[in-house]
Amino acid sequence: MKTILLIDDEENLLLGLKAVMIKAGYTVYAASRGQDGLSLAKEHQPDVIVCDVMMPPPNGFQLKKMMADDPKTDSIPFIFLTARTFDQDKIAGLTLGADDYITKPFNVDELLARVKAVLRRTENGRQRGLQEAEALMDQVRASVAMNLSHEFRTPLGIILTSLDLAIQQRFRGRDEDLDWFLKASLNSAQQLSMLVNDLILLYDIDQNQQNTFRRAIDFRFHFLNPINKVIERWVDKNQEVDIKIDEGVMIFAPELEFSHAVSHLVDNACKFSPEKTCISIHLQPNGVGGCILTVTDQGPAIPTEFHQKIFERYYQIQQGSTRSFGGMGVGLTIARAIAEAGGGSLDIVPSETGNTFRFIYPPGTVDWDTHRSLHARLSGPDPMVNP
């Protein structure tokens, strides 16, 4: 059952219109003042609004503009109902985005027909929008499936091939290439592990179940080791990586998530920077427990109009077969989600060369209460003393 909102300061006309619309099978809400009509529109989200123009402020034109400025009401179909017959008034109403303009006196059957026509156009537009959205989703699904299989198949193939060759070499008594085969297997296994973690984190993001439990970050295990693993993956590009950690940096953050964000930011820089260039990594304090991490690459400068687009999920994948670089296109999405889950941010900022990404994690303390609660559930009383 469609819902109609009637707004008119003529009480008798309003009652008559309400009776006609109810008899025609509509659910009807009515208001004799513009402000009341605005409140009803926000509360009930009607399928169409029929509104008089000549009312005490806000009049019909003012009311339409107010609704157009509010995301909750800007898309509701709007029909003006008025005794004013000047062409400029009709043009003014249609310019404001009205779907129809009916002058008084009017025929009730004509009004019902106009309402039905507006509802029909709206429904047809909605159906076309759904069809277009579904077609776009089909393309995205196909791209995701194709690239996901590629991203998993490539490292898995390297692991299986390298291990097979290592076994063959070992049986033949030729050990000189074993280290190379095992190293290739390890690098690919780490790549697979990162892909799996990506999928797990994406699920947590979609379910709004991100881990925000803050613990002390060990710089060797949770910062330098992830960076070194990424550098090893891109070792053939002979890039120089300049890492600077300011004095006084003390970070309290989810360990896995923080390491994963760092890995993606550095991996992104290595991927898009040309061979034999320098990547800069700078870690600064941001109060107790917080940090500011900037990663500067030497890749092509990203145009300003794409500064937010690059954080969209599967952005690279949506480029289809024309894209120049591999990857799932979710690294920046995940890194930003990790920052925002902790109350921070991730943005691209002006840079003299290449692109600079700034990851900000706010100050905060270790979640000792959460730690003790979790430890008590898993193993009984917490033996840790209160720090």
The two beta strands, 78-82 and 100-103, are: parallel
Provide the mean pLDDT of the chain.
82
Of 185 and 250, which is predicted with more confidence?
250
What is the tens place of the pLDDT at every residue in 194-240?
778 888 888 888 888 889 999 999 999 999 999 998 998 898 899 99
pLDDT at 205: 84
Token code pair at residue 367: 């979640």
Q: Which long-range contacts (CB under 8 A, 24 or more apart) does 155-158 make?
A: 155/188, 155/189, 155/191, 155/192, 155/195, 156/188, 156/192, 158/184, 158/185, 158/187, 158/188
Cis peptide before 105 (omega within 30 of 0): yes
pLDDT at 118: 87
pLDDT at 305: 87
In this predicted structure, the answer to whether residue 365 has a pLDDT above a threshold of 60 is yes
- Least confident range from 77-86, 106-115, 152-161, 320-329: namely 320-329
Kind plus residue range of the DSSP H or E element containing 67: helix 60-68
Compute the distance between CA of residue 256 and CA of residue 22 in angstroms, rounded to an integer. Answer: 59
What is the tens place of the pLDDT at every residue in 13-26?
889 889 999 999 99
Let me know: does 358 contact 346? Beta carbons within 8 Å: yes
Segment 35-49 mean pLDDT: 92
Let me know: does 251 contact 324? Beta carbons within 8 Å: no
Compute the distance between CA of residue 189 and CA of residue 134 in angstroms, rounded to an integer. Answer: 36
The residue among 259, 248, 246 whose CA lies nearest residue 217 is: 259
pLDDT at 260: 92
Segment 319-324 mean pLDDT: 44
Of 172 and 100, which is predicted with more confidence?
100
Question: What's the angle, vertex CA 45, arms to CA 39 and CA 49, rounded to 5?
Answer: 80
**What is the pLDDT confidence band of residue 352, given thresholds at 50, 70 and 90?**
confident
Let me know: does 355 contact 296? Beta carbons within 8 Å: yes
Compute the distance between CA of residue 63 and CA of residue 327 in angstroms, rounded to an integer. Answer: 49
Give the whole-number percent of the chain exceeding pLDDT 70.
82
The residue among 245, 262, 265 whose CA lies nearest residue 355 is: 265
pLDDT at 262: 95
Q: pTM for this structure?
A: 0.56
Compute the distance between CA of residue 184 and CA of residue 232 in angstroms, rounded to an integer. Answer: 10
**What is the pLDDT confidence band of residue 264, given thresholds at 50, 70 and 90?**
very high
Give the whole-number percent of the chain exceeding pLDDT 90.
36
What is the tens place of the pLDDT at every residue in 277-304?
999 999 999 999 999 999 999 999 988 8
Segment 121-143 mean pLDDT: 76
In this predicted structure, the answer to whether residue 377 has a pLDDT above a threshold of 90 is no
pLDDT at 145: 62
**What is the pLDDT confidence band of residue 241, given thresholds at 50, 70 and 90?**
very high
Compute the distance between CA of residue 204 and CA of residue 213 in angstroms, rounded to an integer. Answer: 14
Segment 62-74 mean pLDDT: 86
Say what angle helices 255-272 and 178-206 make with each other, to 10 degrees: 120
pLDDT at 304: 87
pLDDT at 265: 95
In this predicted structure, the answer to whether residue 182 has a pLDDT above a threshold of 70 is yes
What is the maximal distance between C-alpha atoms in the chain?
102
Segment 352-363 mean pLDDT: 93
**What is the pLDDT confidence band of residue 93, given thresholds at 50, 70 and 90?**
low
Compute the distance between CA of residue 143 and CA of residue 316 in angstroms, rounded to an integer. Answer: 10
In this predicted structure, the answer to whether residue 87 has a pLDDT above a threshold of 60 is no
Tokens 């003012």 sit on residue:
62
Segment 237-265 mean pLDDT: 94
Q: Please, what are the domains in the chain?
A: 3-106 (3.40.50.2300), 140-206 (1.10.287), 215-370 (3.30.565.10)
Q: How many CA atoms lie within 13 A of 45 on its CB side?
A: 4
**What is the pLDDT confidence band of residue 369, given thresholds at 50, 70 and 90?**
low
